[in-house]
Structure 1
Amino acid sequence: MSEFAPRALFAPATILSRAEAQDIAQRALKNSPAPETRVTINSAARADTRFALNQVTTSGENSDTQVTITAYDGNRAASVNTNRLDEASLAAAAKQAYEIAKLVPPNPERMPELGAQSYPAARERVITMPTPAERAAAAKIVTELARANDLIATGFIECRAGATALANSKGLFAYDSSSAVTMTSTVRSPDGTGSGWACSDGNGFGDLDPQALAATAVQKAKDSRNPVAIEPGRYTTILEPTAVGNLVQLIAGAMQARAADEGRSFFTKPGGGNKIGLKVVDDRITLISDPADASSTNGGYDDDGMPLEKVTWIENGVVKTLNYDRYWAQKQGVPPTRSGGGGFRGAGRSLRMLGGSSSIADMVKGTERGVLVTRFWYIRPVDARTILYTGLTRDGTFLIENGKVTRSIKNFRFNESPIFFLNNLEALGPTIRINSSENLSAGGSVWMPPIKVRDFTFSSLSDAV
C-alpha cells in the first residue's frame, strides 16, 4: 500500500505544520536583539518496536520540537537551543545567543544570510504513524516464520516523521516535511553458527514488506549454518544492494570540493586542481542525488536555505561536479552545489546509483569461483586519499563454485575502496531502495543495485557470525 493513502489504524504524525513553524519563527525573529538572526526548527515524531527471542520486547513513541536560534554580530555567531515555544522562552534564547555571540572569535569565512528563496510546490502526501498494534503485527510475521523453522529472530522497526523550517531576518522562510520507515531483522540458528539478515525500507509504513523480509532472513540463517573457512585474498565478489550502499555512499561523502582543491582528497588532480571532467570509475557508473527520490514533500533545502536540485556527481564514470559550499564556491568563482551536503545526508536527502539488468542469480551462474556478500558492518576509514576503508562481512557470506552457491563461509575483514572495485566492475543489477546506514536508522533514501566485481580484497578471517 502506498504511503500516500491514509489507513484507519494510523494516526497523523504530531509534527508542525507550515503555518505553525512560520509562527514560531516569526516570534523568535521578532524578539531577537541581534543585527542578524537565523531560526532553525526541527519537529520530529518517532515510533519504534523492538523484538528479540521471537517476541516483542519494547515499543515506544515520542515527539519533540527543537528551536535553534543563531545570533550574528558581524562575523561572530552563537546558537542556543530550546524546546519551549512560548514567546518569553524564545526571547530569552535569542537574547542569550546574542550575548554569547559577542564573546566568540570572528569567523572569517562566514557567509551572509540569504534572502527569500523560491521553492517547489509541496507534493501532496499524507504523513501518518503506525499504531503499536500495526508494528507488532509486522514483527509477528518475522517471529512466527523464524519459530516455525526452529530459528531465533530479533529486529527493529523504526518510523520517523519530521518537519523542518529555516527562517532569517532577511525574509527567508523554508519548510519541509518527510517521513521514513525501516524494518530490519537478524535471524540466527540456536547453535549460533547461522545468521541471516534482511531490511525493508520506505517513506511510509505501507511500503514495508515483512513477508519478504522474513523469508530472506530465515533462508539466509538456514543456509549460513556451520560456515567453513577459506583463505583470505582477492575474489570475484557479488555484493547485494545493501553491501553496495555500505561502501558506495562513501564516495559521495568524499566529494568535497575544498578538500580536493586543497590537495587532501582522492578527487585532487595530480599536479593541482580537482578531477572534475576526469574518468575515475567504470563507464557504467552514474551517481546522482535527486530530491524526487527522497521522502520530502517540499523538495528539501540545504543548511543555508537554498532549494535542493538534482545533482549528477559521476556520469558514465566521469566526475561531473563536487560539493561546493557557499564560501568555497565564492572563492573559486563557481555556483554553490545545491545538494544538501555532498550526496546523502539525513532525512530528505538521497543517493542513487544507476543499475543494469543482471540478476544476482545470473551473476552467480557466470561465476566460476567467488564470494557472495549480504552486507558489511564496523566500517572505518583507512586512507582518505584513496577512499580506502576496512570492515567486516556479516549475516550471510557464501562461497560460489562453478555457477552455484555451494556453502556458507566464515566472515572476512576487507580492506577496499569503492573506487577500486568500481573499476573492476563485471555486472550490475536493477536498482532498489535500501537502508545502507551502519546503524540502520530510518531517514533519507539510498538506491543501489547488486554488482559483481573482480579482485575484491578480503584481508583476513573473522570468527564473528
Structure 2
Amino acid sequence: MAILSKDEAQNILKKVLSFSTADECEATLNGSIGGNVRSARNSISTAGAVDNVSLAVQSRFGKRSGLATCNEFDDATLRRCVQRAEEIARLAPESPEYMPLLGPQQYLDGSRSFAAATAAIDPAYRAKQIGASMALCDEKKLSSAGFLDDSVGFIAKRNSKGLEAYQQTSYVGFSVTVRTPDGSGSGYAAADYTDATKLDAARLTRVAAEKAASSVKARAIEPGKYTVILEPNALLSNVDTSLLGVLMQSLDARSADEGRSFLSKKGGGNKKGEKLFDERVTIYSDPLNPEIGDLTFANDGRPQQKTTWIEKGVVKNLYSSRFWAQKAGIPDLPPPGGWIMQGGTQSTADLIKSTAKGILVTRLWYIRPVDPQTLLYTGLTRDGTFYIENGQIKFPIKNFRFNESPVIMLNNLEAIGKPVRLNGSLVPPLKIRDFTFTSLSDAV
C-alpha cells in the first residue's frame, strides 16, 4: 500500500478531516517502499526492505495543538487517531508562537523528483550493482564495505483551511569504503540520484579502490596552513555535520537576529545584504533543478520556489519560520531542501594539475563545532589524503585534524570545479588556500 496515488491519498485525508471537531485540523500522509543491501569484506552482510505508510493528524483548539499518528486506515482507526489528537490538544498549553494553518497554495510541478527507473528497482538490480563492486575489489585483492539503498515515496497534505499538496519522490544511493588487506590504505566514494539509471557502483568502487591502493605508506608532514583541494565528499559527506552543510543550516534569520549566529550583528540585527564570501560564491535552491528534483513544498505547506541564498559572495536571503517572518517583518521563506553551489567546468583532476603545492582531501569526518559565532569547526581527514606538487599527486600523507570555518574557507577560494550531486545537493570540488591543519592523526 506504500505508494498511494494523489486521489487515493487525498480521499483518506478528506475522510480524516470529516471526523474532526477542532477549530483547525491538518493531516499528512507519508509513504515509502524500498530496499537496501550492505556488504562487508566483499560479502553481503545484510539486505532489507521497507514498506510503510503513516498518517499524522494535528488538531488545534485556539492556540493549543495536539498530534497523533497511526498506520492503519480503516474508518475506526482514523476516527480514533483524530480523537486522540483532539484530546492532546485540549490538554496542551497555548503556543506563544501560534500561527493559523495556511489556506490553498500554488505549487510548482514536482514531477522531476520521481523517476520510474528507480521505482522499478528490485533485488536483482541491487545484487548486480553491489556484486560488481565486490567483484572489482576481489580482483584487486582489496577489501570493501558498501551500502546501497533505494526508495520511492510520496507525501500528501490536506487541512481544514483548503490546503492540498501531493508529490512523489525517488532516491538511490551508494557508498563504499575500500581498504588494503593490511588496513593501511583506505579510499571512499559515494553518489546518489533520483534516477537509478545514473548509478554505477563499479565506477564509484574503482575510484575508492585507486585511492586505497595509493594511500599505503603514508608519510607524516608538518601541520600548518596549506592549499587544499576538497572533493565534494569532504564538503558535504553528511548534511548535518559538514562544512557546507553547517553553513547552509546557519542561514536562519531568527538565530541571526537573536545574536546566536555568524550572521548576527553586534548591537542587533543581521548581516543580510553584506558581502561575506568570495565573489565567485553563489548558492541557490531550485526544486525544479533536474539533477536534484526536490520537494515543491515545505513541511508546513509553504511553497518552495527558486531562491538565491548567496549571490557573488553577498548574503541575499535568510529563511525563517512563519512566526518569525511575521514578527520580524521579513520575507516568509522556508528552509531549502537541496541546494546548488555554482561552479565551473574543471574536474578534481584539473584542479590538481593547476596546483604547485597542496593537499588533496577525499573526505572529512567527526566534524564538531568549536565556535558558533564564527562557524569554526574541527574534524579529521580520512580515506585518502595526498600531497600535491607541480600538478601531480606525489605521495600519500597521514591524516590531519583541522580547525576551519566555512566562512573563512569561502574567502580563501582559489578555484571552483564542476558541481556533482551529493546528498541531494549539487556541490563542486573547491581549491582553498591557507586551510588550517592543527595536528596529525594516526587513523586511516
Task: Report the TM-score range of the alignment, normalised by the length of the smaller protein.
Answer: over 0.9
1:25 — aligned with what?
Answer: 13
Question: Deviation per CA, 1:23-52, whole angstroms, max 9, x where unpaired?
Answer: 111111111222211111111112101111
1:330 — aligned with what?
Answer: 326
Task: Measure the CA separation in 1 of the matches of 2:373 and 2:327.
Answer: 23
Deviation at 1:102, TM superposition (A): 1.2
Task: Measure the CA separation in 2 of the matches of 1:297 and 1:22.
Answer: 23
> Which shifted more, 310-319 or 287-296?
287-296
Any idea what SS the aligned residue of 2:278 has? coil
Task: Measure the CA separation in 1 of the matches of 2:40 and 2:295.
Answer: 37
Taking only the aligned residue pairs, the percentage that are identical comes to 46
Matched, 1:392 2:376: no
Deviation at 1:264, TM superposition (A): 1.3
* Amino acid corresponding to residue 65 of structure 2 in structure 1: A
Matched, 1:448 2:439: no
Alignment of 1:50-449 (within 5 A): 50-123=38-111, 125-126=115-116, 128-245=119-236, 246-293=242-289, 299-337=295-333, 339=334, 341=335, 343=336, 349-435=337-423, 445-449=424-428
Task: Measure the CA separation in 1 of the matches of 2:400 and 2:51.
Answer: 40
> Which shifted more, 283-292 or 368-377?
368-377
Alignment CA distance shift 1:318-1:39 (3 Å)? same
Any idea what SS the aligned residue of 1:109 has? coil
Any idea what SS the aligned residue of 2:141 has? coil
Any idea what SS the aligned residue of 1:293 has? coil
* Amino acid corresponding to residue 160 of structure 1 in structure 2: S
* Amino acid corresponding to residue 408 of structure 1 in structure 2: P
Deviation at 1:57, TM superposition (A): 2.0
Matched, 1:460 2:439: yes
Q: Indicate the RMSD between aligned Cα atoms, in angstroms.
A: 1.7
Task: Measure the CA separation in 1 of the matches of 2:345 and 2:197.
Answer: 27
Deviation at 1:220, TM superposition (A): 0.6
Deviation at 1:295, TM superposition (A): 7.5
Deviation at 1:297, TM superposition (A): 6.9
Alignment CA distance shift 1:322-1:122 (3 Å)? closer
Return structure 1 stretches of 4+ with deviation > 3 angstroms: 294-299
Q: Is the 8 A contact 1:164 1:176 kept in 2?
A: yes
Deviation at 1:152, TM superposition (A): 0.7
Q: Is the 8 A contact 1:179 1:204 kept in 2?
A: yes
Q: Is the 8 A contact 1:151 1:190 kept in 2?
A: yes
> Which shifted more, 135-144 or 240-249?
240-249
Task: Measure the CA separation in 2 of the matches of 1:331 and 1:419.
Answer: 28
* Amino acid corresponding to residue 108 of structure 1 in structure 2: P
Task: Measure the CA separation in 1 of the matches of 2:354 and 2:319.
Answer: 38
* Amino acid corresponding to residue 220 of structure 1 in structure 2: K
Task: Measure the CA separation in 1 of the matches of 2:323 and 2:42.
Answer: 52
Alignment CA distance shift 1:284-1:163 (3 Å)? same
Task: Measure the CA separation in 2 of the matches of 1:314 and 1:388.
Answer: 19
1:9 — aligned with what?
Answer: none
Deviation at 1:256, TM superposition (A): 0.5
Task: Measure the CA separation in 2 of the matches of 1:385 and 1:275.
Answer: 13
Matched, 1:45 2:33: yes
Any idea what SS the aligned residue of 1:300 has? coil
> Which shifted more, 412-421 or 277-286?
412-421
Any idea what SS the aligned residue of 1:102 has? helix
Task: Measure the CA separation in 2 of the matches of 1:366 and 1:425.
Answer: 14
* Amino acid corresponding to residue 453 of structure 1 in structure 2: I
Unmatched runs of 5 consecutive residues or more in structure 2: 237-241
Question: Deviation per CA, 1:134-166, whole angstroms, max 9, x where unpaired?
Answer: 111111111111111110111000102110111
* Amino acid corresponding to residue 463 of structure 1 in structure 2: D
1:8 — aligned with what?
Answer: none
Task: Measure the CA separation in 1 of the matches of 2:426 and 2:110.
Answer: 23
Q: Is the 8 A contact 1:240 1:451 kept in 2?
A: yes
Task: Measure the CA separation in 1 of the matches of 2:64 and 2:109.
Answer: 35
Q: Is the 8 A contact 2:109 2:296 kept in 1?
A: no
Deviation at 1:298, TM superposition (A): 8.5
Deviation at 1:384, TM superposition (A): 1.4
Alignment CA distance shift 1:261-1:122 (3 Å)? closer
Task: Measure the CA separation in 1 of the matches of 2:109 and 2:131.
Answer: 40
Any idea what SS the aligned residue of 2:91 has? coil
Question: Deviation per CA, 1:56-83, whole angstroms, max 9, x where unpaired?
Answer: 2222112101111111111111101111
* Amino acid corresponding to residue 197 of structure 2 in structure 1: G
2:239 — aligned with what?
Answer: none
Q: Is the 8 A contact 1:68 1:82 kept in 2?
A: yes
Question: Deviation per CA, 1:97-116, whole angstroms, max 9, x where unpaired?
Answer: 11111111110111000111
* Amino acid corresponding to residue 425 of structure 1 in structure 2: L
Task: Measure the CA separation in 2 of the matches of 1:296 and 1:147.
Answer: 33
Q: Is the 8 A contact 2:58 2:67 kept in 1?
A: yes
